[in-house]
Chains A and B, each alone.
Chain A
């Protein structure tokens, strides 16, 4: 007869270890705050660790994964709406925040730290405040593109000389989804549809993320692509043969995507949540993010811009109503699927 069941014994032992491990439960914290973060973990974690050091408040963070690999924190916030675990939502682009606002997940809070941030980047009702922005830029390979060939506008990318040589991230997700929604808001449906049809006809490569766009261009597999400033900066810091163009200085302007921070409705620790929001909107955090590899552009006046990038005042931003642009995302996603063959 065989001996007893080692798996059962082992599982009992493991159960005990798990139970005794003291995993935190809801409301068990003495001095904790919970934040859901869709900004890249490598950039956000140092900021939150610094807050822990300064305030003595433990930060329980939930980070997001790369855009095309999970449903994202926004879905979790929607599902937890009636009994949220989160106190604060820190988003790296406007779309998710505006959708959550429309679904009643957020609570208004006008932070004193927002003083000095232009009104364009603040919700009039106080449901969100923008800080530390990125821009949607054209990245190109400096070995394959001569100075006279550098595109000045995103609309140049539909020209025959760029056929099969341009990549964009999947426009259904992340910052690219915001970018396309902004274009539809700016250009109108007819012109925007036409632009994307011409991109498709020009054999644009649609890949899973902005970092992939950058990598394809850096490796010389493609000449150019649309991506975010922080993605390009990673390549620049690594000495790869790329450069970026802040497009449409003479035209519609460049799409500026601020981080957004919001208080969660019915947050279990609203007071501590407000304190965290105040911190995230401070000039100190904008300075940290500007000086990190995130190279996020400060929105407060007087904070030095990151290396390799101009200050916000030196570029022509797209004039956007972020609420209206975000409201178009779902409709635009449906429109683009047949146009781009997604």
Chain B
């Protein structure tokens, strides 16, 4: 649109940081796997095609991802829309309670359901991951529903019924951000190891893990990760094509738009939200509390956890802030400056996120444990680096979707008015994507807080995060102890969420 050094500097810096932190570890590991011992990587790659067992694993993985995405969408989309368009009392607290399942590591949720039902199956894994990740879809749906223009809706309501307006105007405008969140759930599900491992479901992540933990073969493990990445890329490409197909531009308005204010709707939403909270939060937490009630070494659960909690909160918050900033630059570049190959770029961002965390962790060690980066390696900053490496692609995906909904005309008007690019970004773009920025930061914070696969590989000796502390104490601790530690971890994430809910977030975009 216009040459501006500040834009070039900001975006170049964001892309460089993204490349160095998120792309390079995966590329490095891929290169190592291809340049490894002759035949080893080729065996792994060809096995995917010719080995029936590997094909079954891939099929299981696909079912897991698709099933969890479907469950998360069925729960998350209606609730997210309701939070945005049905005026409710105590909506902030309701939002916190609905977000809370995301704060519980999927493995812990699975443990609770195993205690309750004893079910070990693919269906159980789909249920656990779907009910654990639905807040992502809900958050994105609410952000999208709040951010879009009401002018078009009000214009539509003049000539059409609300449901038609919803179908023809509102949902297509929401789709990019919602689709990005569903894709995120899919990738999170197929790259998840703890839940299928616990529930005895054979998927590709378990194969990757075996190659690392049982065979100590980095090259093979990386090669085995490739089918996951390809699967994620294929789904991402399909989703990106769907998202591009129905794009509309719009501008913000000040009316009410499409809302459901009737008492009947409020009751329906209240009942649905309550049922969701009971099933996805109250039941698993209640089961854990029941198990924890019989803990015999209660003091050890909390002893020493204070510093670990502080480490987790600070490092996750720093990673969330950095990842969001990088995601803003990369998202803007993707949406405004890239004219060709957008589908490929979108797919690439998803594939980065699909790379198993252990592969990322080993890649980070290889890249950062060398001069002059040894000043950072061995410090808590590596935990921040790990969080950014894993989740900057998530932020970029979400913010690209949000920026796509900002009319270019608003930027052009600012340029005509004499604004430089940075001023335009801060005063025009960011206020319009503020809900998505907040959602992105929150999502990265929560995901980063619970992350352990790469964190445990790079956390400095003598320092710990809460998940590391929890997981290192799980070994040989009784189920009751595990349950108590899990509750500590849940509380440690929920408290910042509750605090954030207490701060008034300007959800309505300017």
Contacts and interface: CB of A to CB of B under 8 A. Distances in A.
Interface of A: 1-3, 5-8, 10-12, 14-15, 17-18, 21, 23-26, 32, 34-36, 40-43, 58-72, 74-76, 78-80, 82-83, 85-86, 99, 103, 172-173, 177, 206, 208-209, 211, 215, 230-231, 234, 238, 329-330, 333-334, 337-338, 342
B315 A80 contact: no
B380 interface: yes
Contacts of B427: 1
A306 to B, nearest CB: 15
Contacts of A68: 197, 209, 213
B471 A69 contact: yes
Contacts of B314: 14, 17-18, 21
B380 A18 contact: yes
A162 to B, nearest CB: 20
B434 interface: yes
Closest 7 CB pairs of A and B: A11-B321, A60-B462, A60-B461, A23-B380, A26-B378, A172-B214, A63-B472
B174 to A, nearest CB: 21
A1 B370 contact: no
Contacts of B462: 24, 32, 34, 58-62
A330 B324 contact: no
Interface string B37-70: 0000000000000000100000000000000000
B438 A25 contact: no
Given A17-B314, A238-B478, A23 B381 contact: yes
B365 A231 contact: no
Nearest to B374: A26
A34 B461 contact: yes
Given A75-B212, A75-B213, A76-B365, A2 B459 contact: no
A71 B197 contact: no
Interface string B456-467: 110111110000
Interface of B: 53, 107, 193-194, 197-198, 200, 202, 209-210, 212-218, 296, 300, 314-315, 317-318, 320-322, 324-325, 358, 361-362, 365-366, 369-370, 374-375, 377-381, 384, 426-427, 430-431, 434, 437-438, 441, 452-453, 456-457, 459-463, 468, 471-479, 503, 506, 510
Contact of B213 (A42, A72, A86, A337): A72
B375 A26 contact: yes
A234 B476 contact: yes
Contacts, number: 196
Nearest to B324: A7
B472 A41 contact: yes
B213 A67 contact: yes
B interface majority secondary structure: helix
A80 B380 contact: no
20 contacts: A2-B431, A2-B506, A14-B317, A15-B318, A23-B380, A25-B379, A26-B375, A26-B379, A43-B476, A64-B475, A65-B456, A65-B468, A68-B213, A69-B193, A69-B194, A71-B453, A85-B460, A173-B213, A211-B476, A211-B478
A23 B315 CA distance: 11
Contact of B453 (A70, A103, A177, A238): A70
A63 to B, nearest CB: 4
B201 to A, nearest CB: 12
Nearest to B477: A42
B456 A70 contact: yes
Contacts of A209: 475
B321 A14 contact: yes
Contacts of B361: 71
Contacts of B430: 5
Contacts of A342: 202, 210
B212 A80 contact: no
B475 A65 contact: yes
B433 to A, nearest CB: 11
A334 B51 CA distance: 14
A75 B457 contact: yes
Contacts of B107: 69
A75 B216 contact: yes
Given A1-B431, A65-B471, 5 more contacts: A23-B460, A40-B475, A71-B212, A173-B213, A211-B477
Contacts of A333: 210, 214-215
Nearest to B321: A11
B456 A83 contact: no
B214 A75 contact: no
A71 B358 contact: yes
A12 B459 CA distance: 22
